[in-house]
């Protein structure tokens, strides 16, 4: 599904150059559930941002779905992104002014999906994550777990090939965290490819492969026995 070769990302300020990612090689196959672990500042989030095309690499090659995407323009990246990738964030990132339904539907607004179809898919996915009964509520009226479920629904509704989750349980208590992890596991079982950044070893256990990072490099990869 995606192949990274010698992928690097450096940040420059006037005086300092920081290498966030240092010549990473990484392949992810369709249907995998990959967890990325590592201490703060090791480059996990940078890797995820590059993977999600929210950021562009400084050097190296990134082939996504058979196409080289390193060096594409921002608007081309936006096209690839909206067609293929769904995001889940630690801080949910729901739009406060929109209701649950509208937040989920938001992901389809930029896809030129007809309104009726949009409504049907939104209802479907809200059912799947068990948030349909809260469709008219606004984010501020929901618990953290419920908000993250809305975020998951929003990531799913456009039926992406890849779901990227950046510490999806970081802002949740243990119970709600487990609940979200089980949901991701189910999605993976249904065929979704998932890449997740996490600090929690127990949550990493839900993944089929764990990538450990340190100082912008991949330290080791560990495949969980099927």
Partner 1 sequence: MLGHYLLIAIRILMRNRVYAAINIGGLALALAGCVLILGYIRYEQSYDGWLKDSGRLFQVQTTIRPPGQPDVRTQGSPFPVGEQLAAGFPQVEAVTSLSAGKTVTERDGQPVFIDATTVDGNFFKVFGLPFAYGSAATALPDTNSIVLTEKEAIRQFGTTDVLGRRFTLGAGPGKRDYKVSGVLRDLPRNTSLRIGVMYRGDIADIPIERRGWGNFDQIHYVKLRAGADAAMVNAALPGWEKRVVPTGTIDGKQFSMADVFDLRLEPVTGVHLGKAQEAALTPAGDPRALVTFAVVALLTLGMAVMNFVNLTTARALQRTREVALRKVLGARRRELIAQFMAENVLIAAVAVLIAMAIAELAIPWVARAMGADMQLHYLGKDGMLLPVLALFAITGLAGGLYPALYLSRFKPAAVLNGNRGSTETAGSGRLRMALVVVQFAIAIGLVTSTAVIWSQTRFVEQVDPGFRRDGLIQIANAWRYTQGGEYDAARRAMLAIPGVTKVGRTGLGPGDSAPKMVWLARTPGASQYASLTAYNIDADFLPTMDVKLLAGRMLGDRQAADRIADETPAQLATRGINVVVNRGAATKLGYRAPQAAIGQVVDVWFNGAAKVPATIAGVVEDTRFGTARDAVDPIVYAYNPGLTNQVLVRYAAARPGEVMAALAKIWRRFEPEIPFEARFTDDVVRELYAAERARTILFASFSLLAIVISCLGLYSLAAFATERRTKEIGIRKVLGARSRDIVRLLVAQFSRPVLIANLVAWPAAWWVMRDWLNGFDARIALTPTPFLIAGGLALVIAVATVAGQAIRVARRNPIHALRYE
* Residues engaged in binding partner 1 (CB under 8 A): 45, 49, 52, 54-55, 74-75, 78-79, 81-83, 87, 89-91, 93, 95-98, 102, 106-107, 109-111, 154, 158, 166
How many angstroms separate the CA atoms of 103 and 117, rounded?
Answer: 16
How many angstroms separate the CA atoms of 4 and 92, rounded?
Answer: 27
Rounded least distance, CB 208 to partner 1, Å: 25
How does strand 85-89 pair with strand 59-64?
Answer: unpaired
Q: 58: exposed, middle or buried (C-beta count within 10 Å: 0-12, 13-18, 19+)?
A: middle
Closest CB to partner 1 among 74 and 225? Answer: 74
Residue 133 gets which letter from DSSP?
A: G
How many angstroms separate the CA atoms of 147 and 92, rounded?
Answer: 6
Closest CB to partner 1 among 10 and 208? Answer: 10
Closest CB to partner 1 among 48 and 210? Answer: 48
Closest CB to partner 1 among 116 and 226? Answer: 116
Which backbone phi and psi does 161 adopt, to 5 degrees?
A: -75, -30
Rounded least distance, CB 187 to partner 1, Å: 18
Q: What tokens were used for 66?
A: 């058979």
Beta bridge partners of 33: 194
Rounded least distance, CB 222 to partner 1, Å: 26
Closest CB to partner 1 among 17 and 74? Answer: 74
Rounded least distance, CB 87 to partner 1, Å: 5
Rounded least distance, CB 91 to partner 1, Å: 6
């Amino acid at each position: 599904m995606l192949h990274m070769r010698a992928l690097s990302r450096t940040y420059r300020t006037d005086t300092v150059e920081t290498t966030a990612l240092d010549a990473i090689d990484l392949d992810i196959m369709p249907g995998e559930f990959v967890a990325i672990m590592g201490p703060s500042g090791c480059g996990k989030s940078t890797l995820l941002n590059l993977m999600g095309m929210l950021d562009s690499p400084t050097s190296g090659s990134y082939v996504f779905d058979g196409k080289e995407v390193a060096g594409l323009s921002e608007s081309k990246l936006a096209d690839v992104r909206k067609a293929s990738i769904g995001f889940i964030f630690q801080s949910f990132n729901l739009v406060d002014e929109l209701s649950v339904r509208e937040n989920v539907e938001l992901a389809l607004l930029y896809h030129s999906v007809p309104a009726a179809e949009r409504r049907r898919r939104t209802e479907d996915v809200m059912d799947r994550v068990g948030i349909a009964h809260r469709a008219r509520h606004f984010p501020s009226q929901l618990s953290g777990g419920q908000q993250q479920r809305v975020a998951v629904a929003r990531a799913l509704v456009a039926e992406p090939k890849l779901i990227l989750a950046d510490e999806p349980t970081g802002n949740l208590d243990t119970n709600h965290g487990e609940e979200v992890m089980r949901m991701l596991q189910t999605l993976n079982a249904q065929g979704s490819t998932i890449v997740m950044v996490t600090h929690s070893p127990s949550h990493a256990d839900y993944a089929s492969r764990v990538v450990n990072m340190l100082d912008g490099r991949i330290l080791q990869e560990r495949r969980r026995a099927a």
